[in-house]
Amino acid sequence: MHIFLHTLSNGIRLAHHRTNGMVAHCGLIIKTGSRNETAAEHGMAHFIEHMLFKGTKKHKAYYILTRLDEVGGELNAYTSKEETAIHASVLKEDFEKAVDMISDIAFNSVFPANEIEKEKDVIIEEINSFLDNPAEIIFEDFEELAFPGQPLGRNILGTRETVKSFTHDDLEKFVARNYNTRQMVFCSVGNIPDEDVLKLFNKYFGSFSPKTKKNGIDKISRYTPSSLTKHKKTYQNHCIIGNIAYPIRDKRRLGMSLLNNLIGGQGMNSRLNLALRENRGLAYNVESSYNAYHDTGIFLVYFGTDSQNLEKSIAITYTELNKLRTSKLGSIQLSKAKNQVKGYLARGFEHHESLMLSMGKSLLVTSKIDTLEEICNKIDNITASQLLEISNEVFEPSKLSMLIYK
């Protein structure tokens, strides 16, 4: 897979992969997220993501909201704990419009006061919607349990109180402190020659002055396993069991990802889906996840079940985790687990929007982009002994935390 790379004098990097097809995807990924917030700024990164669409020095909000939609394209954005991304999908002949729009809202947004007040109400409704969904809240509450009193443990949306307090100056100060041009990557995938993408990249991103302030993040405090039960008015009991895991640059990350997929990944054949849902009918939603951050990670198992089945479901979950601590995967089991993950990866590479975002984040965080072949080779080199070692570290019962909604 050929990837064209370039770095501007202001530090913004480019990664482009030429493909066939009528649709092109592009985005700007910025290494700033909710983890960069102070306590008083809780929800600020996400609020700014919304406000990027509300007007620039050149264009009103209506123009931004309709410019790409009118040609059948899409302009969107997201905020995570450690990144903010602005991205677009358009027909390839409209690619320049998308590049222009992303550049404009990333660097020229003016955060109109009247739009700030309106957007506060919108985000408070988003918070209300989130609070109505215990199957979503519990994931954020578990990270707060794992990282208490730390920005990494706070939810991305903020609270009603912090959101209401934001001012125009607050937004400007956050951007000035945290948006670093050397921590930005523009990524694209589409049937556009490298030289054409480079020309547009220079045109729309080359004129901005370098901003090199270091947007520091908090150091993670020592993890202490804990258990907590919250009483909520829900039809089901919801449960998460988990532990901290490996950061994004750790060589064990890929092995951890393979184990996560084996335990509760998207496949119907995951161990917990078979054990809890298919074989016993104890749960409808069963999943595990592994999120790798800059300097730590988190692994968790989630399921929802009837109150009378809660203790049984917890015991089965511990049993399945313990199996991976006490028994090496056989050669056939290991081969099947690797092939499943490689299949998912190949499908992801064929989904060009996901590929574009993955390329950008990889370059931003690790300063390189592995090809599918390189990743598959790394997966093939994972041994059963390595997975056993990871399992004994992450799934050790004394290290696991648990959060229950009753």
| Closest C-alpha among 170, 183, 6 to residue 84 | 183
Q: Give the CA distances from residue 121 to residues 55, 115, 124, 163, 171, in Å, rounded to whole numbers and listed in that order.
A: 18, 10, 5, 9, 16
Token pair in block for residue 28: 């700007």
* 41, 49, 143, 353: the active-site residue: 49
DSSP 176-201: HHH--GGGEEEEEEES--HHHHHHHH
Question: Residue holding tokens 């989630």?
Answer: 302
Whether 49 is a known active-site residue: answer yes
Give how far the C-alpha of residue 96 lies from the chain's centroid of Cα atoms, to the nearest Å. Answer: 27
CB 246 within 8 A of CB 256: yes
Give how far the C-alpha of residue 349 lies from the chain's centroid of Cα atoms, to the nearest Å. Answer: 17
The three-class DSSP label of residue 208 is coil
Contacts 24+ apart (CB under 8 A), 105-110: 105/52, 105/53, 105/56, 105/64, 106/28, 106/30, 106/52, 107/208, 108/56, 108/57, 108/58, 109/51, 109/52, 109/54, 109/55, 109/56, 110/55, 110/56, 110/57
Cα–Cα dist 60/54, whole Å: 7
Q: Give the CA distances from residue 128 to residues 134, 142, 169, 233, 239, in Å, rounded to whole numbers and listed in that order.
A: 12, 19, 26, 16, 22
Q: Where are the beta strands (DSSP E) in 208-325?
A: 227-230, 237-245, 286-292, 297-305
Token pair in block for residue 208: 């901005």
Residue 266's CB: how many other CB atoms inside 10 A? 10
The three-class DSSP label of residue 274 is helix
Token pair in block for residue 146: 């794992």
Residues annotated as catalytic (active site), given as ranges: 49
